[in-house]
Amino acid sequence: MTEGWIETQIAESVRRGSCPICDAVEASRKSYLTWVRTNLNDAKFRQSVSSSGGYCLAHLHEVMDSLGANPYNRLNLLKVMRSVMLMLVDGQHVAGCHLCSSLRDTTTAYAVVISSSRIQTSNGRPVALCRNHVPLLKQRRGKHDGRSTATRESPARRPTPTSKAVANFLSATEAVLKDFHLKDPEVLGREVERCEALMTRAMLAGED
């Protein structure tokens, strides 16, 4: 995103009377979910998602919904979350969500531009943000003034490596991935659905 493009989007949000950061985050979320099916076909993208911690539970469900009914598309998500769970089992620190990170980047990019004195409404007043995003500008101004007003983010919860739910998910997913190309799509779809249910249970195991 270039600064000029962001300025144009901010102006459009101001015209509508909405919070430009809220608009940007929602547009970014929709764009991500539109393209994630295609992107998950790429091994490098899957590696990027895995190294970022996969997906938080809320975004995991959104990504699952966006993948449609094709079991081969849904297998790619299982590959990602299997990699995340294996890192946990190996004792690696795993926290985060690829989509959350993407949305934070969008938020930061817009906050940087909005904090510039050049960005103003037609009546000369600063851009109005919703009360959820007003603190972002205070944080940025605090940094420029040498004061730190940022709050620490709590890492996303992840299942414990000893969780039985994690073991069940890993076992079932490994079995499906081993010979998925030999199975009838309908049969594969049922097996993928079972793995998805186990994946959700494994994620919930980290919230106990």
Residue range 76-134, pLDDT digits in tens = 999 999 999 999 888 888 878 999 999 999 998 988 888 775 555 555 556 778 888 77
Per the structure, the complete domain to which residue 128 belongs is given by 3-205
Distance separating alpha carbons of residues 188 and 181, to the nearest angstrom? 9
- pLDDT score of 138 more than 70: no
pTM tops 0.85:
no
CA dihedral of residues 130, 1, 29, 63 (deg, nearest 10):
-160
Q: Is the pLDDT of residue 183 over 60?
A: yes
Domain count, the chain: 1
Contact 72, 157 (CB under 8 A): no
Q: What is the CA radius of gyration of the chain?
A: 20
